[in-house]
C-alpha cells in the first residue's frame, strides 16, 4: 500500500468514529472530556456551535454516532454519547452572554425561511450573526417544527425546546407564525436574496383503501396529525382500547402518548417481524418498559365497524420468508386475527408534499415528485431557492436537518457574496501533541472497565399519568463522570514518524489490542491477511508508513485501537506521539475569506 496521507483531513476524521458518523460532525470526544472536567457550559457551547440543539438532541437524537462508536467494537456497548450531551445541557450555567452578538447594522441581504423546524432555525442561527435580515414563516403557532408538534413532552420537555428555539429567535428574527405559505411564487415576489425551504415531510400515510376506513373515520387517525393535535392540546383524550399500526419511532410515540391520555389496552401491531422494526432499539425498549405489547407479523385487513362506529380491526397473520439474497417477503398464512379497539392510530410512514410550490418557477421536480436538490450545496434548480431537512431528501431526523441547515447557510452566504456556491472550504483542522511529560498526557489515557451506565427513569406510575412529565431523569454528575471516562478519546491520534523509528518493537509488544505491525508491504488484502490480529473490518483503515530502515513498513489497523497512548509511552524515540485532532466543519461566514482566497 501507499503510505497513508495523514494530511488528508478525512483520514484522522474517520478515526474519530462518532464524529465521522455524526451528520453535523460534532467533536464528540472533546465535549465528553469537558464534561469529565466539570466544564459543562464549555461542553454545551461546543455542541451548540455544531448541532444547535444540545438540550433537544441530548434527549432525542437518533444518535448515528453510537452504533459507530469504537467502544462498541471492543466492549458490549458504546459510550452513551447522546445522554452525555444532555448532561452538558442540564448542568450548564447561563450561557446567553456566550451567544454570538447580532450586528445592529444589517448587511442588506434578506432571507426567507419557510418552516420553523431545526433546518430553518440552523440557517437562521448561522446567518443572523453575519448581519442577514431573516424572515421565518411557519404554519404552527410556535417555532420548532416537528420537535414541537411530534416529539412528545415526556421525551422532550417544552421548556428545553423553548430555551433552544428562543436562543435563535432572539437573534432578531422576524417571525410569521400561524402563517401557512400557500404559494412559493408569492414569497419569491417579495424579492428575497435567498429562500430556504425547511418544511419537512408533513404528510402521514393513510390506509385509504382498507375496507371500513370511511365508516370508522371518526376513530381512525393519522399518527403525526394526532400527535400534533395532542401537542397543541386540540386532542386531550383517546379511547381505552387503542391499536397503533406501524413499527417505527412514530408508532412508539403514538402508543406511549395514548397510554398517558386514556389508553388502557394499547397495542402496537406491525406487519414485519419484530426484529425488523424500524424503530430505534431504545425506543422499543422504552415502549416495552411501559408494558405496551408489540404484535408482529400482523397485516391489517379491515377496519370493523358496527352501527357506524369502529369496534376493532382484522389482521391477517403473515410469515417472513427470505430468498437466497436475504430479501424478505411476507407470506400470508390465511389466519385472521380480530382485535377490539376504540381508536386506531396509523403510524405507517410519512411523505413529502409540496402542493404550495408552483411548478413553473424554475424548480425542477424529479422522482417521487421531490425537488431536485444538490447534495452538497442544497441549492435547487432555481439558484435562489435552497432546501434542507426532511424537505430536501425525505424524512430523516433532527441532526440531519441541522447538518443540512449549516451547509445551506454556507451556500446562501457564498451566493450573497457573489461567490460560486460550489467553492466550499475545507474543514478547519488542528493536530497537536498531548504530551505533558514522562507518562503524562493532557487527556485521561487509561481505559476504564465500566459497562455503559443506565440512565435513571422517573417512577413509571407517575410518568404514565402525566403526559408532560419527562421519563428520563438524566445522568447525575457521578454517573456522567464515569460514563464520560468510558470514552476512548479517539480524536487523540496515534501519529507515527517513520524517520524516528528504530524498529525496537516496543509498541508492538505493549499494544493491548495488537494494532501495530512491522511487516513487508503488500496490497491491502495481503497486508490484512498477515497482521498480528484479525483485521477483517474493512471499514476501518490501515495506517501504513513509508519504508523503514529494514525495508519493512509499519502497519496499524485503526479498528480497535484504544488510544491508550501506551505505544507512545513505550516508544524510546517519540516516533509515536499522541496528538489531538480537531476537525471543524466550516460554517457560513468563512465565505468572505474563501472569496479573498479565490480572488488571489
Partner 1 sequence: MSFIRPNIRHPQLPVNDIGFTRADYEGALSTLCAGCGHDSISASILQSCFELSIEPHKIAKMSGIGCSSKTPAYFLGNSHGFNSVHGRMPSVATGANMANRDLVYIGVSGDGDTASIGMGQFAHVVRRNLNMVYIVMNNGCYGLTKGQDSATADKGSASKKGVPNPYSSIDLCETAIQLGAGFVARSFSGDKEQLIPLIKAAVSHRGFALIDVVSPCVTFNNTPKSTKSYDHVREHMNATGTFDFVPLKDEITTQYEPGKTEEITLHDGSAIRLHKASENLDFSSPRSAMNEIEKYKEKGEVLTGLLYLNPQTPDTHELLGTTSKPLNSLSDKELCPGSDVLKSINSSFQ
Ligand X SMILES: Cc1cc2nc3c(=O)[nH]c(=O)nc-3n(C[C@H](O)[C@H](O)[C@H](O)COP(=O)(O)OP(=O)(O)OC[C@H]3O[C@@H](n4cnc5c(N)ncnc54)[C@H](O)[C@@H]3O)c2cc1C
Radius of gyration of the chain (CA): 27
Fill in the per-residue mask, 525 to 554: x = in contact with partner 1 (CB under 8 A), - = not in contact: --------xx-x------------xx----
- In total, the chain counts a number of residues equal to 600
What residues line the site for ligand SF4 (CB under 6 A)? 16-18, 28-29, 69-71, 78-79, 81, 487-490, 494, 510-513, 515-516, 556, 561-567
Burial (Cβ within 10 Å: 0-12, 13-18, ≥19) of residue 311: middle
CA neighbor of 114 nearest in space, from 392, 517, 437: 392
What is the DSSP pairing of strand 553-557 with strand 516-519?
A: antiparallel
Residue by residue, DSSP assigns 174-229 as EEE-S-----HHHHHTT--SEEEE-----EE---TTSTTTTTTGGGEEEHHHHHHH
The answer to whether residues 502 and 573 touch, using CB atoms and an 8 Å cutoff, is: yes
Q: Which of residues 473-502 bind partner 1 (CB under 8 A)?
A: 502
Using CA atoms, how far apart are residues 434 and 391, in angstroms rounded to an integer?
A: 43
Give the Cα separation of 52 and 23 in Å (integer): 13
Residue 481 binding partner per list partner 1, ligand SF4, ligand X, none, with a CB distance cut-off of 5 to 8 Å that depends on partner kind: none
Write down the least CB distance from residue 549 to ligand SF4, Å: 20
Q: How far apart are CA 124 and CA 111, in angstroms?
A: 9
Using CB under 6 A, which of the segments 65-73, 141-149, 323-331, 506-514 binds ligand X? Answer: 141-149
Tell me the window of 109-117, 379-387, 462-470, 505-513 that interacts with partner 1 (CB under 8 A). 505-513
- By a kind-dependent CB cut-off of 5 to 8 A, residue 117 interacts, out of ligand X, partner 1, ligand SF4, none, with ligand X
Shortest separation between residue 57's beta carbon and ligand SF4, angstroms: 15
Distance (Å, whole) CA 390 – CA 257: 23
Where does 337-473 have alpha helices with state H? 390-393, 398-416, 460-464
- Interactions with ligand X, residue window 158-197 (CB under 6 A): 180-181
Site mask, partner 1, residues 429-468, x = CB under 8 A? ----------xxx--xxxx-x-------------------
CB of residue 141 to partner 1, shortest distance in Å = 51
Cell of 99: 451567544
Binding partner of 571, given partner 1, ligand X, ligand SF4, none, CB within 5-8 angstroms per partner class = partner 1
Q: Which of ligand X, ligand SF4, partner 1, none is residue 250 near (CB under 5 to 8 Å by kind)?
A: ligand X
Q: Which positions from 330 through 389 interact with ligand X, judged by CB under 6 A?
A: 356, 389
From the list 113-121, 411-419, 479-487, 553-561, the region that binds ligand X by CB under 6 A is 113-121
Q: Distance between CA 59 and CA 241 in Å, rounded?
A: 29
What residues contact 383, with CB distance under 8 A and at least 6 apart?
Answer: 415
Residues that bind partner 1 (CB under 8 A): 73-75, 439-441, 444-447, 449, 502-506, 508-510, 512-514, 533-534, 536, 549-550, 560, 562, 564-566, 569-573
Amino acid at each position: 500500500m501507499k503510505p497513508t496521507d495523514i494530511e488528508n483531513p478525512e483520514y484522522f476524521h474517520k478515526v474519530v468514529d462518532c464524529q465521522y458518523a455524526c451528520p453535523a460532525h460534532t467533536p464528540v470526544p472533546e465535549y465528553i472530556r469537558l464534561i469529565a472536567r466539570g466544564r459543562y457550559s464549555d461542553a454545551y457551547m461546543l455542541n451548540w456551535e455544531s448541532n444547535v440543539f444540545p438540550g433537544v438532541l441530548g434527549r432525542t437524537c437518533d444518535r448515528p454516532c453510537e452504533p459507530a462508536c469504537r467502544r462498541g467494537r471492543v466492549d458490549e456497548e458504546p459510550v452513551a454519547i447522546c445522554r452525555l450531551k444532555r448532561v452538558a445541557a442540564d448542568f450548564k450555567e447561563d450561557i446567553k452572554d456566550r451567544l454570538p452578538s447580532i450586528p445592529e447594522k444589517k448587511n442588506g441581504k434578506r432571507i426567507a425561511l419557510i418552516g420553523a423546524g431545526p433546518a430553518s432555525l440552523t440557517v437562521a442561527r448561522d446567518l443572523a450573526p453575519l448581519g442577514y435580515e431573516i424572515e421565518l414563516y411557519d404554519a404552527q403557532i410556535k417555532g420548532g417544527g416537528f420537535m414541537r408538534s411530534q416529539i412528545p413532552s415526556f421525551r422532550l420537555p417544552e421548556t428545553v425546546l423553548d430555551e433552544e428555539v428562543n436562543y435563535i429567535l432572539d437573534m432578531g428574527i422576524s417571525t410569521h407564525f400561524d402563517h401557512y405559505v400557500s404559494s412559493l411564487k408569492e414569497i419569491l415576489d417579495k424579492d428575497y436574496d435567498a429562500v430556504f425551504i425547511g418544511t419537512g415531510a408533513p404528510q402521514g400515510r393513510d390506509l385509504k383503501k382498507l375496507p371500513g376506513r370511511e365508516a370508522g373515520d371518526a376513530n381512525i387517525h393519522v399518527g403525526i396529525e394526532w400527535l400534533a393535535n395532542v401537542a397543541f392540546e386540540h386532542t386531550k383524550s383517546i379511547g381505552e382500547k387503542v391499536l397503533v399500526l406501524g413499527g417505527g419511532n412514530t408508532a412508539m410515540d403514538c402508543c406511549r402518548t395514548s397510554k398517558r391520555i386514556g389508553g388502557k389496552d394499547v397495542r402496537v401491531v406491525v406487519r414485519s417481524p419484530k426484529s425488523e422494526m424500524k424503530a430505534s432499539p431504545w425506543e422499543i425498549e422504552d415502549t416495552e418498559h411501559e408494558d405496551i405489547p408489540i404484535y408482529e407479523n400482523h397485516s391489517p385487513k379491515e377496519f370493523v365497524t358496527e352501527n357506524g362506529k369502529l369496534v376493532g380491526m382484522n389482521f391477517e397473520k403473515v410469515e417472513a420468508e427470505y430468498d437466497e439474497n436475504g430479501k424478505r417477503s411476507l407470506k400470508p398464512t390465511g389466519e385472521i386475527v380480530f382485535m377490539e379497539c376504540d381508536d386506531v392510530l396509523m403510524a405507517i410512514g410519512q411523505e413529502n408534499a409540496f402542493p404550495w410550490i408552483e411548478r413553473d418557477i424554475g424548480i425542477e421536480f424529479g422522482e417521487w415528485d421531490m425537488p431536485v436538490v444538490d447534495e452538497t450545496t442544497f441549492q435547487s434548480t432555481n439558484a435562489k431557492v435552497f432546501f434542507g431537512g426532511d424537505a430536501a431528501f425525505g424524512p430523516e431526523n433532527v441532526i440531519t436537518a441541522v447538518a443540512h441547515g449549516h451547509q445551506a447557510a454556507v451556500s446562501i452566504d457564498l451566493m450573497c457574496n457573489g461567490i460560486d456556491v460550489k467553492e466550499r472550504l475545507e474543514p478547519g483542522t488542528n493536530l497537536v501533541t498531548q504530551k505533558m511529560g514522562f507518562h503524562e498526557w493532557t487527556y485521561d489515557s487509561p481505559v476504564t472497565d465500566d459497562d455503559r451506565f443506565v440512565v435513571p427513569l422517573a417512577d413509571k406510575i407517575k410518568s404514565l399519568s402525566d403526559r408532560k412529565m419527562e421519563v428520563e431523569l438524566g445522568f447525575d454528575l457521578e454517573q456522567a463522570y464515569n460514563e464520560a471516562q468510558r470514552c476512548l478519546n479517539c480524536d487523540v491520534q496515534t501519529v507515527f514518524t517513520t524517520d524516528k523509528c528504530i524498529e525496537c518493537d516496543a509498541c508492538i509488544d505493549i499494544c493491548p489490542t495488537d494494532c501495530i505491525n512491522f511487516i513487508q508491504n503488500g496490497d491491502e488484502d495481503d497486508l490484512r491477511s498477515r497482521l498480528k490480529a484479525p483485521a477483517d473490518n474493512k471499514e476501518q483503515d490501515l495506517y501504513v508508513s513509508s519504508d523503514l530502515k529494514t525495508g519493512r513498513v509499519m502497519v496499524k489497523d485503526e479498528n480497535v485501537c484504544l488510544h491508550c497512548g501506551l505505544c507512545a509511552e513505550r516508544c524510546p524515540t517519540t516516533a509515536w506521539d499522541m496528538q489531538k485532532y480537531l476537525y471543524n466543519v466550516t460554517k457560513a461566514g468563512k465565505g468572505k475569506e474563501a472569496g479573498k482566497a479565490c480572488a488571489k
